[in-house]
Each structure stands twice: as structure tokens, then as C-alpha cells.
Structure 1
Amino acid sequence: MLTFMSTSTAKPMVAYLKWAFIVTGVGLALGAALGWQTTGTLSGALTIFFICAVLAVLEISLSFDNAIVNANKLKTMSPVWQHRFLTWGILIAVFGMRIVFPLLIVVIAAHVGPIDALIMAAARPAEYARIMQEAHLPIAAFGGTFLMMVALTYFFDQEKDVHWVEWLESRMASYATIKGVEIALVLILVLLFSRLLEGEARNVFVYSAIYGLLTFLLVEVLGGFLDRTQETTRAAAQGGLGAFLYLEVLDASFSFDGVIGAFALSQNLFVIAIGLGIGAMYVRSMTIMLVERGTLAEYRYLEHGAFYAILILSVIMYCQTLVHIPEVITGLGGAALIGVALWSSIRSNRCEAGAAPK
């Protein structure tokens, strides 16, 4: 297994969060300045300041499981591609998913140019938010399907020998020998949920879900193709490219829910970008800390909790095509699962330490 850039475990937690703290200070200052510029009042500046802070917390709560999955994938990548993901990847995550992606949705949905979409975001935020909300159905179907495949692929793995929920995970691992079992499960769920929709919404849901499934399979195929030729230096770098692309699509799927949900707090694209961007920096810092400290190896069930959270998030995204589910429930639910997994890991470690011969 490849090691991370630094194998030191003595690095204090504050050191990992240094850049996140800096971005927080700058981002909140920009948020307050934006509030002052748009309202001309201190209360307006404080309101935008507070919204940015809440959005950052929302992003962190929704994306902590993302950090765990990123860390799991990063530990198998070469140091060069680890560095590229944590530099280029964070730029793509902050500017691509939090700014370009919402603009792209409006460009496609409203049939306008990128400049017109940007002007709409700045001058007509209510209309911009309406278009984003109307695009929620295909986004939820696409992202939910991709995330569901990510979670099921983790559990339907015949080489997986560490189980948190033993009775369930051991059976899923044994069924992994059945080719395409996770794909069949996802397609069954897609058909079941589509039956609850009517008219054009049903077609949009099914097509978007299929595109999500196809995207996952294509990323897997690309990663497998590049990993087959790792015997040369150039090919090894390409293998890192496959993992890099996988992580970027994964981050995009995680971001869908947060970006759409953020419009419940603010209709200003720039306020949303600041708040979610701050949260994304904390996710990056947590990812680095998890890899460098070997936290996933030390707390054996932490990864399980993250993938259960992903599975539940994917189902929630499907349910959101039918009813509105507050983002706070999604975030707290995922955080609670990870917390229980952490507690189970600590208890298991203590039991092993107590049973060890002295």
C-alpha cells in the first residue's frame, strides 16, 4: 500500500486545520462585506455573515462521510496524485461544484448563455433559485444512483472480511460472487420509485438515474483500464488519474444535495459559494488528517459507518423527488451513524486490548 506524503502521527490537529481556519476567516469577512454592500446596514452584514457560517456547518455535516471515503481511496494512490487531488481537486470542488455547476444547470434549464446565467444570479436571484429548485428531480436521481452504487459496491465485496453489522454484511459479501447483483438492486429501486411519480417526472427520474448508473460504470471501467497497465511510470500515473476522476465524480454527487439545499437559506449564488467553499476546506483538512494518522485502520468501523451514511443519503435523495426532507436531517443522520461507528470501533479496540495476553 502506498503511503501518504507524511507518515508522522505527532502532528497536532490544529496543524491540519490551519488552511481551513484561514479560509474561514477570509470567507466570513467576504460574506460580511457582501452583506454590507447589498444592504448597506450592519444587520444585513451580520445576517450574511451568519448564513455563510451556517452553510459551512451544513456542508461539513453532509460531507464528513465524503472525507472518509476520500481518505480510503487516497491511501491507495501515489503521493503525486494524492497531492494533485488535494490541490486541483479542492479547486474543482469549490469553484466547479459550488459556482460553475449551479450556473451550468441554469444555462441548460433556461436555455441561456453562461454570462446571462451569471447576470441572473447577481440581479435576479429569486428567478435563479426557482430554476435550480425545478432541476432538483434529475439531480437527485443522478446523484442518488451514483452514491447508491458507491455504497453497494463497498458492501458487495467478497474480499471484505471486517464486518460491523455482521449478520447483514457477511451475507452481502457472500452474494458478491453473483455478477451484477448491486446493479440489479439499484435498477429495482429505480423502477419502484419511478412508479410513485407521474407523467414526465417519471421519465426524467428514470433517464437521470440511468445516466447516474452509467457514469459510475464508466468511471469504474476507466479506473480498471488504467490500473491494468501500472507496470510503467506513465501508466502508474494514469492509474492515479482514474482514481482522481472517480473521486471528483464522487465529490460532485455528494455536493448535489448541499448545493440544492443551500438555496433554502440564501438565493445568492456568491453567498452559497462562500459558505459551501468554507465547508469544503474542512472536508479537505479532515481527509488529510484521516490518511496521515491512519485513523481508518485504527477505528475499523469508521469506514463502514461512512458507507452506511452514503447508502442512506442516496435513498433520501430518491425520497426527495417525492417529498421535501430538510437537509439538517440528512446531515445529522449521517453524522450520527459515523459517531456510532466510531464508538463501536473504540469499544472493539478496548475489548481486544483487554483480551490480549499480558
Structure 2
Amino acid sequence: MFLRTFGWSFATTVAGLIAAGLIWGAEGFGVVLILAILEISLSFDNAVVNATVLKRMSPFWQKIFLTVGVLIAVFGMRLLFPLLVVGLTAHIGPSTVIDLALNSGHTYHGLTYGQHLEAANPAIAAFGGTFLLMIFLDFILEEKDFHWLRWIERPLERIGRLEALSSVIALVALALAARFFAAGHAETVLLAGLLGLATYLAVNGLSGVFESGLESEESEESAESAEDSDEEGAAGAAKPGKSLVQVAGKAAFFLFLYLEVLDASFSFDGVVGAFAISNDIFQITLGLGIGAMYIRSLTVFLVRKGTLDDYVYLEHGAHYAIGALAAILLISIEYKIPEIVTGLIGVAFIGAALGSSMVRNRRSSALEAAAEREPTAVGGR
């Protein structure tokens, strides 16, 4: 199972590093390897959150995510999207943007492609930060089956019953970011943040509508099957339809779009930070693309292995990491935060959640073992 899931990632790594060595030599080989490691370290929490969404999708759409989704992630989000952002924010024509990207020494208005991309950081950070903040808020404010940090989660669940509270908090956070972290860019930050909020509400909302419709249809079909079985006097339960968890059709399509926008939000800081390592857009795309392959494979592995069901606090840790990343993105509008800080925060939350899950599992096993021994002890008296 491990090799089947990660096979394409391993193959892409070998082919990519060989190509890097042949084209750019030992230095290019090292740069691509570092970029791949950077992408993986920054996006591990992305894989956990992706898995919570992907397990709700049918096997067909899981394959789409691993194939078409990879192409969108590598070429769309890490190659074409930065070109689009630079063109829109700097008001540069497509041919000039491509020329700047292909020739790291060329400048437009005194700035290289990487510098233009860095100048677009306020808009990028506001969009991605607001989108990720909504993901965190909707998770932390909703009712959950398990609580990790109960002293935080239970009070927030109670106030989370207020309708649209997550949107209100996100708007307040965006306004504060525009006020204190966006000197000279307040209008751009507000507009980009509102677009991030609108994108989240649209994609997540449409997915929820279609998923609810699918569940209603399945409930009606199950009820009809049960009635038919009763009339025919058949023993046992009615034949089950599709799993209520795994969705297909329009619902799965919008979940797929949600995952792609989520991936874009996670990739922003990696793409911008990559220019501190290399000015070659193809090195950056190759390195980040290799990392993106591993994130995709890890996502599918978590789903197929049932890891999120076995370690119930992983989802919590990933969402806390997303909340931290959202805050970092909004702060980075004004202040430069090293990529290593972003990566370590995500790893720390995931590691703490994994450790807490393992402790919980050991306690549950000990209680079950004690419960099994108790009847024997009573009978022997």
C-alpha cells in the first residue's frame, strides 16, 4: 500500500533530481532538493486537512485529486498563478511577465520577477490568510465529537452557535490587518481579503448544498428500500446505498475546487519564499512540484490507512496549525517571517496532536483491558 500510494512521488523525485542535475549541475540539484523539502515541511498540515475532506469523496474523485489535482497544483498554482498575480498587481502585460520570469536578470520598472512577486505579497497574504482563517474558525466554532484542548474548544463551541460568527471574526481580523500591517496597501489588502472570504463562502457553501442534497436523496432511497423490504417480508435491513460520507457528482466537484483553493493558500508563502533560494522559475516549479507530489500522496495515504480515525486529534492539530499560518500570513503583510518558523509551527502542532492521540489510545486500551478482566475476577470470587 505504501509503495502504491507513494510510487509516483518517488518516481517524480528521481526524474526531477536527475533532470535538475543534468540541466543545472550540482548546484541546481541541491537547490531543487532544498525547495522540495521546504514545500513538504510547510505543507504537512495541509495534507492532514486535505485528508479530512478527501475521505468524504468517492474513489473516482480521489483519483481525480491525485492525477488532475497534481497537474493543477504543480503547473497551475506554482507556475501559472504567480505569473497571473504579478501581471495583475504590477499591471504588466502577459508577454512582459513571461519574459521577466524566464530571464531573472531582466527588470520592469527596476524590479525583477521575484521582486514583483514579493511586492504582490500584501494581496497574496490577505487572500490566503483570510481563506485559511475561515477554515480554522469554522472548525474551532463547530461542535466536535472529540476535544483536544477542551478549555479552548468547549467555550468556543458554545459561542459558535451564533450564525455567521466565523465570517464576522474574519472580517474584524482583516480590518485590523489592514489598519496595523498594511501601511500604504490598506485598499489592496481589504479587497484581496474580501475575495478570499467570498471564495471560501462560495466554494464551501456550494459543496455543502450539493452534499446535503445528495444525502437527502440517499435517505429517501434508503427509506423506500426499507418499505419495499417490509412489504416483501424480507429479513434483515434494507440494502444500503452509497455511503453518506463519500460523495460524488457536483458535491465532489466543489470539494475538489475547495481542495485546490486550499492548496493555493498553502502554497503562497512557499512560492514567495522560494525566491530567497533561487531566481529560476523552473527550478522553483520543479522543486515545489516534487514537494506537492508528496503532499498529495500523503493525503491519500492518510485516507486509505484510516489514520485520522486512529489518531483523533490529528485533525485538531492541523487546524490549529492552519490558524497559526493564517495569522502569520496576515502579519507578513508588513513583517517578514522566516519560512522555517512557519514550517516548525505546523510540525509542532501536528506532533503534539499525534502524541496526545497516542496517549489517548493507550488509555482507552488499558480501560478496555481492565473491563474485560473485571467479570473474570468477579466470577472467581
Q: Please, which moves more after superposition, 211-220 or 300-309?
A: 211-220
Separation in 1 of the partners of 2:18 and 2:164?
50
TM alignment of 1:140-155, pairs within 5 A = 140-155=125-140
Q: Please, which moves more after superposition, 345-354 or 171-180?
A: 171-180
Separation in 2 of the partners of 1:90 and 1:264?
25
Separation in 2 of the partners of 1:237 and 1:192?
39
Separation in 1 of the partners of 2:203 and 2:32?
33
Is this contact kept in 2: 1:219–1:246, CA < 8 A? Answer: yes
TM alignment of 1:184-333, pairs within 5 A = 184-197=168-181, 200-230=184-214, 231=217, 236-333=248-345
Give 1:200 shift.
Answer: 3.3
Separation in 2 of the partners of 1:82 and 1:236?
10
Q: 1:289 to 1:132 in 2, by over 3 A?
A: same
| Aligned twin of 1:157 | 142
Residue number among 177, 192, 213 corresponding to 2:161 in the alignment: 177
AA aligned opposite 2:211: D
What secondary structure sits across from 2:184 in the alignment? helix
Is this contact kept in 1: 2:61–2:248, CA < 8 A? Answer: no
AA aligned opposite 1:208: A
The superposition leaves residues 82-101 of structure 1 with CA deviations (integer Å, 9 ceiling, x where unpaired) of 11111111110011011111
AA aligned opposite 2:23: L
Q: 1:48 to 1:210 in 2, by over 3 A?
A: same
Is this contact kept in 1: 2:122–2:182, CA < 8 A? Answer: no
1:334 and 2:346 aligned: yes
Separation in 1 of the partners of 2:254 and 2:45?
21
The superposition leaves residues 68-124 of structure 1 with CA deviations (integer Å, 9 ceiling, x where unpaired) of 111111111112211111111111001101111111122223433333322221123
AA aligned opposite 1:134: A
1:24 and 2:13 aligned: yes
Count of residue pairs the alignment pairs up: 336
| Aligned twin of 1:46 | 26
Is this contact kept in 1: 2:274–2:284, CA < 8 A? Answer: yes
The superposition leaves residues 267-321 of structure 1 with CA deviations (integer Å, 9 ceiling, x where unpaired) of 1110000000000010011011100000000001011100000000000001111
Is this contact kept in 2: 1:125–1:268, CA < 8 A? Answer: no
Residue number among 97, 120, 130 corresponding to 1:135 in the alignment: 120
What secondary structure sits across from 1:195 in the alignment? helix
Give 1:236 shift.
Answer: 4.4
What secondary structure sits across from 1:162 in the alignment? coil
Separation in 2 of the partners of 1:102 and 1:249?
14
| Aligned twin of 1:3 | none
Is this contact kept in 2: 1:300–1:345, CA < 8 A? Answer: yes
Separation in 1 of the partners of 2:171 and 2:89?
26
Give aligned-pair identity as a percent: 44
Is this contact kept in 1: 2:104–2:279, CA < 8 A? Answer: no
Is this contact kept in 1: 2:123–2:188, CA < 8 A? Answer: yes
Give 1:198 shift.
Answer: 5.6
| Aligned twin of 2:88 | 108
What secondary structure sits across from 1:172 in the alignment? helix
TM-score (norm 1): 0.90
Separation in 2 of the partners of 1:79 and 1:340?
31
AA aligned opposite 1:124: S
Give 1:197 shift.
Answer: 4.0
Separation in 2 of the partners of 1:337 and 1:125?
40
Residue number among 59, 62, 81 corresponding to 1:82 in the alignment: 62
| Aligned twin of 2:150 | 166
Q: 1:326 to 1:199 in 2, by over 3 A?
A: closer
| Aligned twin of 1:42 | none
Is this contact kept in 2: 1:17–1:285, CA < 8 A? Answer: yes
Give 1:226 shift.
Answer: 2.2
Is this contact kept in 1: 2:181–2:331, CA < 8 A? Answer: no
Alpha carbon RMSD of aligned pairs, Å?
Answer: 1.7
Residue number among 49, 64, 83 corresponding to 1:69 in the alignment: 49
Residue number among 64, 73, 81 corresponding to 1:93 in the alignment: 73
AA aligned opposite 2:137: L
Structure 1: any 5+ residue segments left out of the alignment? 1-10, 36-44
Separation in 2 of the partners of 1:140 and 1:79?
33
Rg larger in structure: 2
Separation in 1 of the partners of 2:128 and 2:192?
9
| Aligned twin of 1:346 | 358
Is this contact kept in 1: 2:182–2:334, CA < 8 A? Answer: no
TM-score (norm 2): 0.85
